[in-house]
A = this chain, B = another copy of it.
Amino acid sequence: MTENKLKIIPLGGLGEFGMNCLAIRWQDDIIVIDAGLMFPESELLGVDIVVPDITYLVENRQCVRGIILTHGHEDHIGGLPWILSELNVPVYGTEFTLAYVEGKLEEHKLLDSTELIEIAPKSKFTIGPFTIEPIRVTHSLVDCVALAIETPVGVIVHTGDFKIDLSPPDGKAFDLHTFAEYGKRGVLALLQDSTNVDRPGYTPSEWAVKPRLDEVFSRTKKKLFFSCFSSSIYRIRIALDLAQTHHRKVAVVGRSIVESSEIAQDLGYLDIPPGLMINPGQINDYAPENVLILISGTQGEPMSALSRAAVDNHKHARIVSGDTVVLSSRVIPGNEKSIYRVIDHLCRRDANVIFDDGASGLIHVSGHASQEEQRLLINLLRPKFFIPVHGDYRHLKKHAQVAVETGVIGQAILIEDGDVLEITPKEARKNGKVTAGRVCIDSGSNVDVVEDIVIRDRRHISEDGIVLPIITINKLSGKVESQPEVVTRGFAAVDAGLIENARQIVSKTLEGSSSEEKADYGVIKEKVRVDLKRFIQKNTSRRPLIMPVILEI
């Protein structure tokens, strides 16, 4: 049966921040927009990254025509290695986005096997029944695009991440005209970034940080350390501009920021005059007031260059009394402790630390549209259907309300990960669900899934430790050999008396069991577990993970 409905199926990013991934399907053709990751909350113990569950794509692998990337941030491209290892499809992205993707795929040895296709604003391309035009938008990163997708039922616009920066530092303007034209011709559905829907007004331009940073450069009489997200190319550009103006040579310290600024320089986003840059090893050859050190580690990552410099454990970046350290970034929730730990260390070294404390002047701006920018784009596009993307449920809901209040849309529709939204030129409605959720990944040398049960075990052990009663049973006679052993780890209430009593509890359980029970290891393990659990809870009020082990000898 051929269906004449377009399906929009979000697989990530609608109901949480991060791991953005959305499928658009017409009959037997699926395109995927973005393939992001999410950094795990602390309760996901030992998990490195979280990616969307792509069961739906895998089950429909013969239909998936490609992944189109809106820009190069981790929450839009970081899930690629995982997805591509399951599903080898072409990846579309702008020049800068693909440069980031290449590094990532190389790391995972997927570069050779992946087809990367460069796209550019104003250059339409076709995938099956879809004709796609990338439209230049502005964001905190360079070379970002929205996507206008002509489908058999009408035009779907996906904004990607955006703000409307009317003076982007690279002079590449937000393409208001193309959006206006699509709006004039008619847009069936708009999927728009909800991230900053809580903020009224407009988000400041990337330039807006320059006056305050200029002041910091002027006032600093010794070394200046400048830290920002390594992908903040605009910010790096502004720092380099100021370094020239204030006669400082620039050293770049920290792997991520070195790599990122090299890519930006190669692609023409950083125009560095000869003689400006120095090697980290040359820092001491210059007077402190003539040096700027770009350094990675705004989030207090323990192994980052800045964290190490803060405890005087970096070969080249030495921070001394009177130096200034600028953290031109936001405090990502969950990172407070590690960031403030670094700041405290810097204060103890008597460095002047300038960070986004709400009182230091504007040293960081968001890359996402505030309400007025969201309303402006809605006014330009006047979509029949409005679908908020990127955010927790409350953001999506508020964004729907913001859209309705503009008075220019037909209908706002709230969907979440896994919902199937069917669209015809006349109507849009939810119809059914596909598998969706998060997959926890341990990114060692391989990309391995961490099962829920493993995380549950870790969480259980991490609360109260683990207790292992070990029982030796003679394989031939079926009899218990010698005294049971009880070992523990991470268990707080341990003392010799308790362990001895625990051993006796296990012995008693074994004595009270029939030989049939003892022959069925499942049964005997469960009996031991239950009895020991009761004993430990009664005596310590704790609930360690109890894991009986039977050894056959």
Q: Does A61 contact B (CB under 8 A)?
A: no
The answer, among B43, B446, B489, B547, for a CB contact under 8 Å with A541, is: B446
Q: Does A287 contact B (CB under 8 A)?
A: no
Tell me how far the C-beta of A48 lies from the nearest C-beta in chain B, rounded to whole angstroms.
Answer: 10
The answer, among B359, B482, B489, for a CB contact under 8 Å with A461, is: B489
A394 partner residues in chain B, CB cutoff 8 A: 340, 343-344, 347, 353
The answer, among B43, B357, B490, B549, for a CB contact under 8 Å with A487, is: B549
**B470 & A489 in contact (Cβ 8 Å cutoff):** no
The answer, among B42, B333, B461, for a CB contact under 8 Å with A490, is: B461
Residue of B nearest to A547 (CB): B489
Q: Does A254 contact B (CB under 8 A)?
A: no
Binds B, one of A103-111, A226-234, A427-435, A449-457: A449-457
Residue of B nearest to A42 (CB): B42
Chain A contributes a number of interface residues (CB within 8 A of B) equal to: 65
A344 partner residues in chain B, CB cutoff 8 A: 15, 392-394
Interface SS of chain A: mixed
Tell me how far the C-beta of A369 lies from the nearest C-beta in chain B, rounded to whole angstroms.
Answer: 15
Q: Does A41 contact B (CB under 8 A)?
A: yes
What 0/1 pattern do residues 461 to 489 of A give for CB contact below 8 A with B? 11111101010100000000110010101
The answer, among B41, B461, B485, B540, for a CB contact under 8 Å with A466, is: B461
Residues A503-553 near B (CB distance < 8 A):
540-542, 545, 547, 549, 551-553
A451 partner residues in chain B, CB cutoff 8 A: 492
What 0/1 pattern do residues 384 to 428 of A give for CB contact below 8 A with B? 000000001110010000000000000000000000000000000
Copies in the complex: 2
In the bound complex, how far is the Cα of B347 from the Cα of A446, in angstroms? 39
Q: Does A445 contact B (CB under 8 A)?
A: yes
**B45 & A454 in contact (Cβ 8 Å cutoff):** no
In the bound complex, how far is the Cα of B331 from the Cα of A333, in angstroms? 11
Tell me how far the C-beta of A405 lies from the nearest C-beta in chain B, rounded to whole angstroms.
Answer: 15
**B393 & A442 in contact (Cβ 8 Å cutoff):** no
Residue of B nearest to A391 (CB): B344
In the bound complex, how far is the Cα of B358 from the Cα of A359, in angstroms? 15
Residue of B nearest to A449 (CB): B492
Q: A337-B41, A394-B353 are in contact. Are A466 and B489 (CB under 8 A)?
A: yes
A333 partner residues in chain B, CB cutoff 8 A: 333, 336
Tell me how far the C-beta of A35 lies from the nearest C-beta in chain B, rounded to whole angstroms.
Answer: 22
The answer, among B446, B472, B481, B541, for a CB contact under 8 Å with A444, is: B541
The answer, among B336, B489, B493, for a CB contact under 8 Å with A457, is: B489
A202 partner residues in chain B, CB cutoff 8 A: none
In the bound complex, how far is the Cα of B41 from the Cα of A359, in angstroms? 26
Residues A294-343 near B (CB distance < 8 A):
333-334, 336-337, 340, 343
In the bound complex, how far is the Cα of B541 from the Cα of A472, in angstroms? 32
In the bound complex, how far is the Cα of B482 from the Cα of A547, in angstroms? 21
Q: Does A211 contact B (CB under 8 A)?
A: no
In the bound complex, how far is the Cα of B334 from the Cα of A470, in angstroms? 39
**B46 & A465 in contact (Cβ 8 Å cutoff):** yes
**A397 & B347 in contact (Cβ 8 Å cutoff):** yes
A553 partner residues in chain B, CB cutoff 8 A: 472, 481-482, 553
Residues A12-30 near B (CB distance < 8 A):
15
Tell me how far the C-beta of A337 lies from the nearest C-beta in chain B, rounded to whole angstroms.
Answer: 5
**A492 & B450 in contact (Cβ 8 Å cutoff):** yes
Could you list 5 examples of A-B contacts with CB < 8 Å?
A15-B344, A353-B394, A442-B542, A454-B491, A458-B465
